[in-house]
């Protein structure tokens, strides 16, 4: 007796699909693994690249803003002209301070503001402050009425001085000022003034150690970039560089005398 068993026919295409499925699953698994490993590589690289871009582009952007501000001469009608301090020789303004005072005098005579504010304290051992030395020069040499010149003899750096100037403006009910300083210092000065309640503009001098050569200008731009970022990020000001003090020479026409060891008394307050 013979038993016949009917064996179902298997489609060859289905056999091929059945054999191929495990292979496809294996390839997909390997693909996911490669994608996961590549993500672990790509994400840190993107983060590091972004941080490098910030570190590089931020100073470049700030430096460009400092350069742009330095080229501007802003003279809006204001409550007062603010002369930032610089070195003085036993009561006589140094050339740097004298240039600033002369520029402030021109602004005053042009009717930019009805008053001038001189700024700056003194170093230990000094007999005069930068503010008082500037005020005396404006009255005696510039012929400005004493009632029109206000001295704020406080501060050994820009931030400290502007805190004091802001209080004086509030007391006098003033709200706007034109800052006279070196070209590269305009942006940081305006930022500090505005932080202390003063609507500020900047009219820089065009003479002095900070504009003598291209190399000097680049040095000051780099320094001011660091100073601006230090103030914005940390709330700190930057002291005057020693080389600025050394580059200022006594002006015989002023009849001034050097301080001890032949150096000027007082230091710039940039």
Assigned domain for 159 exists: yes
Assigned domain for 187 exists: yes
The CA distance from 202 to 217, in Å, is 18
Assigned domain for 240 exists: yes
Assigned domain for 168 exists: yes
E strands in 158-215: 176-180, 199-202
How many structural domains comprise the chain?
1
Assigned domain for 94 exists: yes
Assigned domain for 55 exists: no
Segment 30-53, tens digit of pLDDT: 555 566 567 676 777 677 767 766
Segment 17-28, tens digit of pLDDT: 555 555 555 555
Q: Is the pTM of this model over 0.85?
A: no
| CB neighbour list of residue 79: distance below 8 Å, 6 or more residues apart | 113, 114, 115, 169, 172, 174, 175, 176, 177
Segment 210-232 mean pLDDT: 80
Assigned domain for 56 exists: no
Q: Please check the confidence at residue 200 and state whether its pLDDT lies above 90.
A: yes
CATH number at residue 93: 3.40.50.620
The residue range of the domain holding 90 is: 70-262
The CA distance from 94 to 104, in Å, is 15
Nearest to 128 by CA among 168, 97, 170, 158: 97
Nearest to 179 by CA among 103, 124, 254, 126: 103
Segment 110-132 mean pLDDT: 92
Mean pLDDT for the chain?
A: 78
The two structure tokens encoding residue 248: 């200022």
Assigned domain for 45 exists: no
């Amino acid at each position: 007796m013979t038993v016949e068993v009917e064996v179902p026919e298997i489609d060859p295409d289905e056999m091929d699909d059945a054999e191929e499925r495990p292979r496809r699953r294996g390839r997909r698994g390997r693909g996911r693994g490669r994608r996961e490993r590549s993500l672990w590589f790509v994400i840190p690289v993107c983060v590091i690249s972004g941080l490098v871009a910030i570190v590089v582009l931020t100073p470049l952007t700030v430096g460009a803003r400092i350069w742009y501000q330095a080229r501007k001469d802003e003279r809006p009608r204001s409550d007062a002209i603010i002369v930032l301090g610089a070195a003085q020789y036993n009561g006589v303004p140094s050339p740097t301070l004298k240039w600033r005072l002369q520029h402030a005098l021109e602004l005053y005579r042009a009717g930019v503001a009805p008053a001038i504010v001189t700024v700056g304290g003194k170093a230990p051992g000094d007999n005069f402050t930068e503010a008082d030395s500037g005020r005396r020069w404006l009255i005696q040499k510039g012929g400005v009425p004493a009632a029109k010149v206000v001295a704020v003899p406080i501060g050994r750096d820009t931030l400290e001085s502007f805190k004091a100037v802001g209080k004086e403006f509030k007391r006098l009910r003033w709200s706007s000022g034109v800052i006279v300083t070196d070209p590269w210092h305009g942006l940081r000065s305006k930022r500090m003034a505005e932080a202390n309640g003063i609507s500020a503009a900047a009219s820089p001098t065009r003479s002095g150690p900070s504009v003598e050569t291209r190399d000097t200008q680049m040095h000051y731009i780099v320094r001011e970039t660091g100073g601006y970022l230090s103030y914005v990020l940390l709330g700190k000001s930057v002291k005057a560089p020693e080389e600025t003090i050394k580059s200022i020479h006594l002006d015989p026409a002023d009849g001034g005398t050097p301080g001890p060891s032949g150096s000027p008394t007082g230091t710039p307050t940039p």
